Structure 1
Amino acid sequence: MIKRIFADTKRCNGCRICELRCSFEHDRVFGTKLSRIRIIMNEEKGEYRPNTCRLCYKCIKACPENAISKNEKTGAIKIDHELCTGCGKCVEACPFNVMFLHPIKEKAITCDLCEGDPQCVKYCPEKVLFYTTSQEFKKLTS
């Protein structure tokens, strides 16, 4: 069974530490626009929702350069930046709006699960994020 990142959205306070840790892990810069996880904010309701790859793999089919594949070990999306042309087809294909073009490198980016040790999960101070299977997540939050 494939593990992915799940969120107990009731706990999220919108601190964005997950975004900052992600950007630092991948780019050695603290910047939310470089993050592979994004906090969707509904400020009217005071609600925050972490949004990250759900591993639907639609981006793989959409890539005309075959630059996107599945990491066989983790199940995460793997992007070969040597092959990626930054055309954005994968961004358009993503139903969850979690595939982005890197604002500096202009290549596709999305959550890669940090090779099975997601830093956003590890550093979330409110314990909102879980790296687990859907069955385990249901048990943890019921």
Structure 2
Amino acid sequence: MTNNASLDAVVQNSIAEALGLDIDEVVPDATLLGDLDAESIDLLDILFRIERASGVKVKMADLTEVIQGGISDEDFADEDDVITAVGLAQLKKVLPQIDTDALAGKLVADEVLTLFTVQNLTDMVAERADSTLAAA
């Protein structure tokens, strides 16, 4: 499945089904863990549903890998687990909606996934689909 509109629908439907939501609640800028009240186990269910519907496999580890962008744990967050300037710059690349100025010195590593939106997941699935096709 390569059509981005189709992938948008797959992601949106997968989220709605996994969380028992109406499809109109699953808007692109809604955060998965915040606005939509998903939990970690729900993310696994969502990713499974996306794979089943589209053939695009995304693992939880992939989310972390994309978010952290290959930056070492030590460079991504300080000893208190607060995201560093380097980490925030990476987050801005993959989560363009965030306000890095407002989060500077405040965002803790455990809270990063709370910023992940429906659109971020859709983009990640589309990118994964494109890279899978390119490798084939």
Q: Normalised by the size of structure 1, how large is the TM-score?
A: 0.29
TM-score normalised to structure 2 length: 0.30
